[in-house]
Structure 1
Amino acid sequence: MGRDLSNFAMHSIGTIMGQMAERRAHHRRKTVLPVKVSVRGTTQLAYTVDLARAGARLGGLRTELQVGETVTLQRGSHKAKFRIIWIQQLNPNEMQAGVESLEPQDSFLGVDLSEQEGEGRKTVDMLMTLLTGSAKSDHPVVK
């Protein structure tokens, strides 16, 4: 009569989750922190939207930036250089930008991200196991 599609949704969700996890090299963490952004001799205040070991998404930017341009971000006494990898105009007076660290570290301007990344991978693996019945990585699965 008809086909049994009961496993279709679970397989599709598992495939989508796996592809999303593989696209990102580093786990993102939603974190709003005030930062100073210095470029071409000017400094402006902005904030992070989310963080990863390799970079961040910045919001509240008002100065014109160029993809590929190097900027310095400062938070308190922590300072590091980043490259602009994408820019999005939100409205006439505000932009967001993706920045990539030129000096990869286990922290983002003093915020420790090393444990967050491992926990994110474990969470994705557990979700994949629940959805598809098989783990993506070599992490042991508790049943």
Structure 2
Amino acid sequence: MATVEVILKEKIEGLGAEADVVKVKRGFARNFLLPQDRAYEATKSNLRHVAQLKEARARREAEELADAENTATKLKKLRLSIALSLGQGGKAFGSVTTADIAALIADKSRLSIDRHQLLLDAPIKTLGSFEIPVKLHPSVEA
């Protein structure tokens, strides 16, 4: 099984991050990574260019981390309430989903939170107070 070295152009789950030099099977590189423009061959000239790409990635990741920490401090201060219609026996009509919560956060605080960042196991169908964790960055959770 022959392997080749490629330089990734973007993060690929289970393989590596942008500007990483990785060894993959020749067929995976030839049939998937290279045609979809997700990687390029690790030639001598391209390897020299990798250092610049890694510096840019480090700067971008530092900015993303700072933004995530700033957003986390704002979210920790935020308290929201949602009106829910109740039927007989205190059962709710419908439920509160991550999309509802993300829209409410955007409306009340002008923070842009994707619904997939909200770590809610199941939609909320009961009355009560809930603390919902938000995954803002791999190392920052609010």
| TM-score normalised by length of structure 2 | 0.27
Between structures 1 and 2, the one with greater helix share: 2
TM-score (ref. length: structure 1):
0.27
The structure with the greater share of residues assigned to strand is: 1
